[in-house]
Amino acid sequence: MADIVAVAGVPHTPGFPALARTDTAAGAELARRYAAVEEVVARADADVLVILTCDHINTFTPDMWPTFAIATGDGVRGPNDDVPGVSPTSYALDGDIGTTLHRGLVAQDFDPVALRGHSVDHSVVVPLHFLNTRRLPVVPVYLNGMVAPRPSAERCRRLGRVLRNALEDLPGRRIAVVASGSFSLEVGGPRMLPGRLYGVPRPSWAGTVADRLYRGDLDGLVAETTERRIEEAGTVAGEVLPWIAAAEMAADLSVAHMDHREGEGHAFAAWGTGRNG
């Protein structure tokens, strides 16, 4: 039986890797926030990272848009979009775990696409840049948080449960799970901030999500995460769905770190074997 030894969640803003390397207070603070999550993941000594994320119409297209998809190949390249400060590179995939998860989902009445050769965008590359310092093999798992109709929050929670159960067929493996995305974020829409490429339409919703996750109230979070709430929170606010699936996969762990600040649309979080606050 495999062990889920850590679960983490971080935003994936494309400009963050470059910002974190600048000699500025904002850059240093951002680097510290990612490092606090990376410390929990590194301490868990995992041998593979399963990344739950939403594509941004870079890997998939509106003409071929899966509700769920899992990488089952041997390698992947990225980024396939612009991530300043991150050069194109290859990432090793754990195809055995990807195939096991795919089969497990199909056996439980999910119908994910099995990806055998694809490229990844900033939603995968940015978390790997900060959290995968040991260059572990990865398994991207995609949830449609971008294009309506999205899967419901309850279905995404069940996805997390089925993924967790499917991992039991992998004896001896140590798995870290990473949720990638924000809770309230407007990109390419009318609610962007003046002079910026983004907006945070519902910062109070982001605070609610972080608080529910910290208190372990997944029932409450799932009940509140309606399609209307997601639409109100921004054009890419469906990125909360991977977090819900990941939180379900963290059912046997405790919150080790939660960093959400008032006014932000995202959080930095980690679950592990001990609770630090």
3-state helix, strand, coil in the chain (%, to 5): 40, 20, 40
What mean pLDDT value characterizes the chain? 94
The pLDDT value recorded for residue 274 is 56
Residues 174-190: what's their mean pLDDT? 95
Provide the pLDDT confidence category of residue 48 given band limits of 50, 70 and 90.
very high
Provide the pLDDT confidence category of residue 20 given band limits of 50, 70 and 90.
very high
| Residue 30 included in any domain | yes
Count of the separate structural domains present in the chain: 1
Q: Domain residues for 214?
A: 3-272
The pLDDT value recorded for residue 189 is 84
| Residue 241 included in any domain | yes
Residues 126-155: what's their mean pLDDT? 96
Identify whether the C-beta of residue 157 lies closer than 8 Å to the C-beta of residue 248.
yes
pLDDT at 99 over 90: yes
Which distant-in-sequence residues (6+ apart) come within 8 Å of 180 by Cβ?
9, 10, 11, 12, 51, 52, 53, 54, 123, 124, 126, 127, 239, 242
| Interval 118-137: pLDDT, tens | 999 999 999 999 999 999 99
CA–CA dist 158, 180 (Å, integer): 18
| Interval 102-114: pLDDT, tens | 999 999 999 999 9
Q: Of all helices (H) and strands (E), which one includes residue 203? A: helix 203-215
Provide the pLDDT confidence category of residue 193 given band limits of 50, 70 and 90.
confident
- Can you read off the two tokens belonging to residue 77? 């390249």
pLDDT at 58 over 60: yes
The pLDDT value recorded for residue 62 is 85
Query: 153-166 and 240-249 are packed helices; what angle lies between their axes, rounded to 10 degrees?
Result: 40
| Residue 277 included in any domain | no
The pLDDT value recorded for residue 73 is 86
Identify whether the C-beta of residue 151 lies closer than 8 Å to the C-beta of residue 231.
no
| Residue 142 included in any domain | yes
| Interval 73-84: pLDDT, tens | 888 999 999 999
Provide the pLDDT confidence category of residue 190 given band limits of 50, 70 and 90.
confident
Beta strands in 159-208 (DSSP E): 174-180
| Residue 228 included in any domain | yes
Identify whether the C-beta of residue 133 lies closer than 8 Å to the C-beta of residue 127.
no
| Residue 236 included in any domain | yes
CA–CA dist 234, 51 (Å, integer): 22
Provide the pLDDT confidence category of residue 277 given band limits of 50, 70 and 90.
very low
Which phi and psi angles does 5 have, rounded to 5°? -95, -15
pLDDT at 275 over 70: no
Residues 221-232: what's their mean pLDDT? 97
Burial class (CB in 10 A: 0-12, 13-18, 19+), 13: buried
| Residue 209 included in any domain | yes
Provide the pLDDT confidence category of residue 276 given band limits of 50, 70 and 90.
very low
| Residue 234 included in any domain | yes
Give the residue among 48, 47, 17, 46 at the shortest CA–CA distance from 34: 17
pLDDT above 90 covers a percentage of the chain that reads 86
List the single range of 3-12, 26-35, 167-176, 198-207 with lowest mean pLDDT: 167-176
> The domain that contains 139 carries what CATH number?
3.40.830.10
pLDDT at 243 over 70: yes
Provide the pLDDT confidence category of residue 228 given band limits of 50, 70 and 90.
very high
pLDDT at 264 over 80: yes
- Can you read off the two tokens belonging to residue 238? 């469906």
